Structure 1
Amino acid sequence: MEISFGGKRALVSGASKGIGRAIALQLSKCGAKVIALGRNKDDLDSLKNEDQGIEIISVDLADWKNTRKTLENIGDVDILVNNAGFNILEPMINVTEEHIDELFAVNYKSVINLTQIVTQNLLKRKVGGSIVVLSSQASFKGIQDHAVYCSTKAALDAFVKVCALELGPHNIRVNCVNPTVVLTELGRKGWSDSAKTHSMIAKIPLNRFAEVNEVVDAVLFLLSDKASMITGTCLPVDGGCLAAL
């Protein structure tokens, strides 16, 4: 199935490494003019070196007002991928107010901020668009030491459904992709303990973790016209992990 984004401008957050980087590169290969957002300038420079056609912008998405100021002259955007996010692993009893604020600022508030910025532009132009949010299987099930992270991802799923209702009449589609563990460089390091890995994989019917390209393919499908009747959905890319729920 051939997918083309020729003539489209795409904004990708958390694009300096991992899944976001791979999405930015693949969107560019499919013809989109990509704007990549990230905090780490060195990683963004590396992305630029890999694909000179990608525009890079360094910004701390946790800062709502500065994000708006930084992107105020970004121009027209047709496609948005809200990928930025991180986790702080700790038992619920150890969660601090600071950690709650840090996680929600990036994982949830920044998604609302970028979605508003892009949709305001689409509505002004009276054109349709497509938005995909990177959520997680953690939005569907409790995971030990992930109390706040699970909460941010559940909030994203609910936000996407509301956006689909409100923006659908304007032909703006909004969807989630909800992966299991993904074997990014960070993912491989985080799951290098064989006992921990075996326990998690035992819960996945396909008996393995997800590869980065498998998540990228799901994102690009939902962004594309091939998914023109799909909005408000949360698509697990989990090898069947949630099938038993």
Structure 2
Amino acid sequence: MEFSGKSVIVTGGGKGIGRATVALLAARGAQVVALSRTQSDLDELSSQTGCHGIVADLADAAAARAAMVEAGTCDILVNCAGTNVLESLIDMTDDGYDVVMNTNLRAALICAQEFARARMAAGGGGAIVNVTSIAGHRGFQNHVCYAASKAGLEGATRVMAKELGPYGIRVVAIAPTITMTELAAAAWADPQKSEPMMVRHPAGRFATVDDVARSIAMLLSSDAEMVSGAVLPVDGGFLAV
């Protein structure tokens, strides 16, 4: 029960990595507030984990701020909310750009801002984990806006660590490889696309949501108290080869 007595906000908590993170941290003793766009996802998650759910479309800046105010002052923030629109640079649309950047980058910055303001008012301390992607490190076709959003969040993570460190707030990021969420399953369903990627993983597989959730918990544990401003690949060795 290493997170007993800790309160945690998880964005994107209704599905995928966020859902697995809510379940894991709750199982390890945390009081979790899950933010999601879908009430039914939150209802099911609450019945399974005891978390408190808040419905919010984080792509809406005002809704993101309101949700964080409702969540209140917590010890930990995990920015998991994310989406993708598969478009090439040539085919990129304004709407596709807006939904990806507003969800993946702006919402994470707003949630971190509101979390940090509350922590500073409470005397400091706490931790933020931003979920990015190996797409911010390697060029994948039709991921132009997604890659830009995730690389941008990694740059922002380093700035946050510098600015918030004096207040005792650690900020780190994890960069998962392809993780078998509903979003990823749609993007990588074609074997002609997925198999060339699979063979580039020394681990011989893509990640599961539980792989990523456990890595988040590791970075949030007391064993990682001197880790800040870092980006941890959770990629089965993909970036090493």
Structure 2 vs 1, CA of residues 116 and 185 (structure 1 numbering), >3 Å: closer, same or farther?
Answer: same
String of CA shifts for 1:4-39, please: whole Å, max 9, x gaps: 111111000000011100100111111111000000
For 1:177, the aligned partner's letter is I
Tell me what 1:117 maps to: 114
Q: 1:47 offset after TM fit, Å?
A: 0.8
Give 2:217's aligned amino acid: L
| CA distance, structure 1, for counterparts of residue 183 and residue 121 of structure 2 | 39
Residues 68 and 206 (structure 1), Cα distance of their counterparts in 2 relative to 1, 3 Å cut: same
Of residues 28-37 and 94-103 in structure 1, the stretch that sits farther from structure 2 once superposed is: 94-103
What root-mean-square deviation, in Å, do the aligned CA atoms of Structure 1 and Structure 2 show?
1.3
Aligned partners of 1:37, 1:103: CA distance in 2, in Å?
17
In structure 2, what is the equivalent of residue 128 of structure 1? 125
The equivalent position to 2:52 in structure 1, one of 55, 67, 77, is 55
SS of the aligned residue for 1:72 comes to helix
Gaps of 5+ in 2: none
Deviations 1:74-122 (A, max 9, x none): 3221000000000011221000122111111100000011001111011
User: For the Cα contact (< 8 Å) 1:128–1:170, is it kept in 2?
Assistant: yes
> Do residues 143 (structure 1) and 122 (structure 2) align?
no
Find the aligned partners of 1:188 and 1:148 in 2 and give their Cα distance: 19
Cα distance in 2 for partners of 1:211, 1:243 equals 19
Matched with 2:237 is: 240
Deviation at 1:214, TM superposition (A): 1.1
> Which secondary structure does the structure 1 equivalent of 2:90 belong to?
helix
TM-score normalised by L of structure 2: 0.96
State the distance in 2 between where 1:201 and 1:184 align. 16
Query: 3-state DSSP class of the match of 2:81?
Result: coil
SS in 1 for 2:203: coil
Corresponding residue number in structure 1 for 2:26: 28
**1:56-205 correspondence to structure 2 within 5 Å:** 56-205=53-202
Of 195-204 and 167-176, more deviation after overlay is shown by 195-204
Matching residue within 5, 9, 20 for 1:7: 5
CA separation of 1:189 and 1:149: change in aligned 2, threshold 3 A: closer
Q: Gapped runs of 5+ residues in structure 1?
A: none
CA contact (8 A) 1:16 1:47 kept: yes
- C-alpha displacement of 1:187: 3.1
Of 202, 225, 231, the match for 1:228: 225
The separation in 2 between residues aligned to 1:171 and 1:211, in whole angstroms, is 31
Q: TM-score normalized by structure 1?
A: 0.94
Q: Does 1:218 align with 2:212?
A: no
Contact 2:11 2:78 in 1 (8 A): yes
Partners of 1:98 and 1:185 in 2: CA distance: 21
Cα distance in 2 for residues equivalent to 1:91 and 1:172: 37
How many pairs were matched up?
241
User: 2:158–2:229: 8 Å Cα contact kept in structure 1?
Assistant: yes
- Does the residue aligned with 2:204 lie in a helix, a strand or coil? coil
Q: Percent same amino acid at aligned positions?
A: 40
Residue 235 of structure 1 aligns to a residue whose secondary structure is strand
1:130 touches 1:224 (CA, 8 Å); kept in 2?
A: no
Amino acid corresponding to residue 239 of structure 1 in structure 2: G
Quote the offset at 1:203 in angstroms: 1.5
Quote how far apart the aligned CAs of 1:193 are: 2.4
Amino acid corresponding to residue 139 of structure 1 in structure 2: G
Please give the secondary structure, in 1, of the residue aligned with 2:180.
coil
Measure, in 1, the Cα distance between the counterparts of 2:173 and 2:238.
Answer: 17
